[in-house]
Amino acid sequence: MKNLYAVILAGGKGERLWPATLERPKPFLPFGGGGRTLIRATFERVLPLVGREKVYAVATRELSELIGAELGLPWEQLIVEPFGKNTAPAVGLAALLLGARDPEGIMCMLPADHRIEDEDAFRRALSAAAMAAEKGYLVTLGIRPTYPATGYGYIEGGEPLFETEGLTVYRAVGFVEKPNQETAENYLSQGNFFWNSGIFIWKFSRILEEIGRHLPGLAAAISRLRAHMGKDSWEEALRAAYAEAEETSIDYGVMEKADRIATIPVSFGWSDLGDWHAIWEAVQKDHAGNASFSSELLSKDSGSNLVFSLARKRVGLLGVSDLAVVDAPGALLVARRDRAQEVREIARALAAREEPDWPRLYRLDTRGMLDVVERFPEQCRESLERGRAMELPGELSGFERILLVGMGGSGITGDLLSLALPGVEVITARDYRVPEFVGEETLLIGASYSGNTEETLIAFLDGLKRTRKAIGISSGGELEKLCRERGIPWVEIPAGFQPRAALGFLLFTLLGALEGLGHRTEGLGEVFSVLTPMARELSPGNSPNRAQELARRLHGKIPVVYGAAGATGPIAFRWRTQINENAKQPAFSAELPELCHNEIVGYELAGDFFPMFLRIFLRTSYDHPRVVLRVEVLKEVLRRRALGFVELHGEGESRLAQIISLLYLGDWVSVYLALLNGVDPTPVRPIAELKKRLASEPWDLRGG
């Protein structure tokens, strides 16, 4: 039919499918048959009838992106809602936009998460419904009940109107809410009561007319929106319209009250897969009645169970029956299948419990890491002034490059120096040796917060064999001694911090001191004007805040942080090391464009076997256009594979401000993640133990 459109609706929380829906929205679960997601099955089922270019989807932006990637639908066929507000506003929006293009058009409203066995019969029913819609009816497909269900609403069929496609179209007398058992039995025996499938067919113009009659808020919002169609003001106007519209379903808000309603009773093996029991009923089972979505099910004396593992684990069942066993990365459900409806209560109770009690968690921070992080902007500002007040000997100037030797929390100073001093080549050596090319034209910086790190000391001594231009920076320790013995300028920074929490001292004292040698960093004013409000915004005094929310998203996951080489790449590395040291958990980082040549291959099995990874893209507006494109493509791939990711943009205008703001956000996130992990962010026992162990076999620095 030429003017028939399919509009897929993909809202709904799917709470009864906890814990799988913690990871994936219900339409993206693989219950569509043949390993397909539900939304893909919905799409493919309607394609032969309407054609690819007449399939649309209505959803929030986040879901729309997922849908676009899953179905390969272009952005023009995705109708983006500012936020979800039940089905009536979604239908109104679709009817407004599509109706404006094709006033005579007919819309099939298809929920994205239903399962249908007989797809030919389904398409025949839609064709019949379109005929009725053509005559001005609002049509609903009524499922012929196979048992006295109490979980569905019913439609009461009245007199027959006409026949088409071998189906009878009836007038619908009314809609009734979910009945009790006795009423449901009564409906079943009467034969003219059908389950409400939630699949509706109508002309755009007719549904808008009925919305006008029954939902005045939505109707007014739609009529105001008309003036903004295709204009820049659309998004803002849509947000205002959604705020004004009634939050209600199209069933309740319109269909129950509208005129000229028709229903077509159908039997095409329909299920709305509302809970785990419904899924078990709908899918294929083995001879013992077990349905499995795991890599392998081994069952002994067990029957009629549903097993679903998002990580495709192997599952063993022994002597159990009628269970739903659902495994997701962060949660596990074991329930009696006949109580599947109550899973929603568990989901809600656990969600309420998951709200972190931040004030109680702050008490884990016994050594004041939160405070140090909050004071980071101050630390940077004061260090810059101290550095500016220092006078480095003039002989140090005139270098061609800087080589900074340093490890861990101190070594990152070299990466940041390189970002802050774009006119100078800065190389960081995290090793016992310095590179061969180092000579008199190189300024050697030995950076060790404690002043006692053996790699740094040995490499510094190695470098001193090649250049006399050298500085040491530390809070004391062997590095101070060595510098004093050899008459090398030594930059003192305050003691009593963790090296990783002293980055402001190391970096900004050096930046200030280097100004005296003619290397001024541009844009530091903006860096401070970005960092200072961030300190307030992300501090415990302003809770919950976005760093806390991000930490919650990462909790229980393994972060993989992506940055662009030579810009956010080192910041991704800092995120990783901060998460390692503060939150005491694994994290990884990689750089674009390199990761496109290896890491991405690991996506192939990521969702199936390693769903615990969460990718974070660190972005600035200075990313190379090809890196921007690569990120877009990667996001598409991740969405297609239903792999989660987070995208973070730096703040401020300058490159440096954007980069340092991302670093600062990561520091906060790592500390909050530590608290969610139940650990004190400050101590780094494994590092201390390793250093102690190595110290028991000392290296003779001066003779070595």
Site of interaction with ligand PA5 (CB under 6 A): 407-410, 448-450, 453, 456, 498-500, 581, 684, 687
Which of these, 205, 203, 15, lies nearest to 109 by C-alpha position? 203
Residue 428 vs 448, nearer CB to ligand PA5: 448
Which residue's structure tokens are 């963790």? Answer: 498
Residue 7 vs 407, nearer CB to ligand PA5: 407
Neighbours of 568 (CB within 10 A): 32
Burial 193-206 (b: 16+ CB within 10 A, else e): bbbbbbbbbbbbeb
Catalytic residue among 210, 581, 591, 651: 581
Residue 466 vs 574, nearer CB to ligand PA5: 574
Using DSSP bridges, classify how beta strands 401-405 and 442-447 pair: parallel, antiparallel or unpaired: parallel
Residue 98 vs 470, nearer CB to ligand PA5: 470
- Closest distance to ligand PA5 from the beta carbon of 319 (Å): 51
- Closest distance to ligand PA5 from the beta carbon of 508 (Å): 16
Backbone φ, ψ for residue 317 (5° rounding): -120, 135
Residue 271 vs 428, nearer CB to ligand PA5: 428
Tell me which DSSP letter residue 90 carries: H
The answer to whether 538 and 668 have CB atoms below 8 angstroms apart is yes
CA 413 to CA 667: how far, in whole Å? 15
Helix (H) or strand (E) holding 218: helix 216-225
Residue 691 designated active-site: yes
Q: In terms of C-beta distances under 8 Å and separation of at least 24 residues, what long-range contacts does 682-687 make, across chains too?
A: 682/365, 682/366, 682/367, 682/368, 682/369, 682/498, 683/367, 684/498, 684/581, 687/408, 687/581
Q: What is the 3-state secondary structure (H, E, C) of 282-326?
A: HCCCCCCCCEEECCEEEEECCECCEEEECCCCEEEEECCECEEEE
Residue 410 vs 548, nearer CB to ligand PA5: 410
- Closest distance to ligand PA5 from the beta carbon of 507 (Å): 13
Residue 203 designated active-site: no
- Closest distance to ligand PA5 from the beta carbon of 528 (Å): 24
- Token couple for 308: 């679903």
Residue 13 designated active-site: no
Catalytic residue among 228, 313, 624, 691: 691
Residue 244 vs 431, nearer CB to ligand PA5: 431
Residue 316 vs 686, nearer CB to ligand PA5: 686
Catalytic residue among 231, 287, 465, 597: 597
- Closest distance to ligand PA5 from the beta carbon of 600 (Å): 29
The answer to whether 410 and 449 have CB atoms below 8 angstroms apart is yes
CA 245 to CA 390: how far, in whole Å? 64
CA 615 to CA 561: how far, in whole Å? 6
CA 446 to CA 457: how far, in whole Å? 7
Neighbours of 329 (CB within 10 A): 18
CA distances from 534 to 409, 538, 670 (A): 22, 6, 15
**Which residue is nearest to ligand PA5, using beta carbons?**
408
CA 575 to CA 255: how far, in whole Å? 52
Burial 406-430 (b: 16+ CB within 10 A, else e): bbbbbbbbbbbbbbbbeeeebbbbb
CA 171 to CA 137: how far, in whole Å? 9
- Closest distance to ligand PA5 from the beta carbon of 577 (Å): 7
Residue 570 vs 652, nearer CB to ligand PA5: 570
Q: Known catalytic residues?
A: 581, 597, 691
